[in-house]
Amino acid sequence: MKPIIVVHHHEIGLKGKNRGYFEKHLLRNVRLTLKGLLPQNAVTGGFGRFIIYIDPNQEVTNEVIGRLKKVFGLSNICFGFETGQSIEEFNSIAESLLIEKSFSTICVKTSRANKAYPKTSVEVNKEVGAFLCSRFNVRANLSQPDETIYIEIVDKLAYVYLSKIPGAGGLPAGVSGRVVSLISAGFDSPVASYKIMKRGAYVVYVHFHSYPFVSHNSIDQVKKILELLTQYQYFSKLYLVPFAECQQDIVLKTPQPLRVILYRRMMVRVAERIATNEKANALVTGESLGQVASQTLRNIRVINNAAKLPILRPLVGSDKEEIIDVARKIETYDICKEPYDDCCSFLTPRNPETWADPAEIAEAEAQFDVNDWIEKLLVKTEKVEFKFPSSYT
């Protein structure tokens, strides 16, 4: 009898031909996140779920579960044992899994990959179910049981486990292709990045800062945020763009109310170039409709026009409270609540334009050399890499 964790795949069943591709990514991600905790061959795959052979050390197991909870593409995380194929073994493992639980209804769900097994799934369900009902004095309930015991009968073995911990859901990190996310030290863009990662995008990050004209702290905060976000995709790149000189040029040459939109359009252009180098298919921002002056529909349209790549805005329909709830859940909240020198508050106008006119924007941009700035900013851009876990190679 060996202790195991069984993790079920989320949504993958829906993906038809892509299933093999998704499962391969998911298996790689599960193995990656457990690096340094369990040997790579502790995770074996197939049939809509993976079996993970665990260490009896409880501390290691807690860490294993903590990491598995952050793997996108898993629907739930279950504990159990690998065992032989007799009903007595099923009964005794089910009993040990339930002994400390308080419950009044139970369901047993058996599946047989080994069709040569002498009993049908329904017969196993009934026999083990009857044993558990009398042992714990509970009733069977097949639609909404308090506890469910799973029995999977495979070639020469069986897995018996109890379902409990919900997984992260979503799609395996990386299966949907690459995006470049414009990330600040504010609440919104880290949450937007998390949400798009959860849909399977691999995120490359770009942050614009005004150092050395202001302090270094937006960079430090973004780095701390990336330590957290890298737990979901295992390897991240952050491009740091020193933006202050370009901002000063914009300030000198263009009307005050247009500044924020002009900054944003420059950011989008530089991010698009990085996206092209990175073979990414979209940009991502943390904008939410109407949240601040630069996020009116008209301004969003004008900002979009600066790029050919689509700009995805996972938070466009979210309220601030909804965004903050996610920020707390993913622990970026505590970092983002600290004050920081935002490059957009550096040299920001008092009365920003809320309804930008494309002709006026074009006229303002004719006053400075947009293409020359893009090249200069790219030359000065630095790249930082993040890895999770630390044993990732």
Q: From the list 167, 172, 242, 286, which residue makes contact with ligand ATP (rule: CB under 6 A)?
A: 286
What are the beta bridge partners of residue 95? none
Contact between 291 and ligand ATP by CB under 6 A: the answer reads yes
**Count of positions (residues) in the chain:** 393
Retrieve residue 123's tokens: 């017969």
Number of residues lying near Mg ion (CB under 5 A): 2
Contact between 340 and ligand ATP by CB under 6 A: the answer reads no
Which CB, 129 or 186, lies closer to Mg ion? 186
Q: Which residues of 264-289 are buried (b: 16+ CB within 10 A; e: fewer)?
A: bbbbbbbbbbbbeebebebbbbbbbe
Q: From the list 179, 258, 344, 361, which residue makes contact with ligand ATP (rule: CB under 6 A)?
A: 344
**Helix (H, G, I), strand (E, B), or coil: what is residue 50?**
strand
Q: From the list 125, 294, 318, 332, which residue makes contact with ligand ATP (rule: CB under 6 A)?
A: 294
Contact between 29 and ligand ATP by CB under 6 A: the answer reads no
Stretch binding ligand ATP (CB under 6 A), from 7-15, 43-51, 292-300, 356-364: 292-300
CB of 286 to Mg ion, least distance (A): 8
Q: From the list 182, 219, 326, 377, which residue makes contact with ligand ATP (rule: CB under 6 A)?
A: 182
ω into 389 cis (within 30 of 0): yes
Q: From the list 129, 174, 186, 200, which residue makes contact with ligand ATP (rule: CB under 6 A)?
A: 186
Who contacts 210 (Cβ-Cβ below 8 Å, separation ≥6)? 218, 242, 243, 244, 247, 341, 343, 346
**Helix (H, G, I), strand (E, B), or coil: what is residue 231?**
helix
Instruction: Give dist(CA 77, CA 98) in Å, integer.
Output: 16
Who contacts 310 (Cβ-Cβ below 8 Å, separation ≥6)? 281, 282, 283
Closest residue to ligand ATP using C-beta atoms: 186
Which CB, 78 or 185, lies closer to ligand ATP? 185
Residues of this chain that interact with ligand ATP (CB under 6 A) are: 182-184, 186-189, 207-208, 267, 285-287, 291-292, 294-295, 343-344
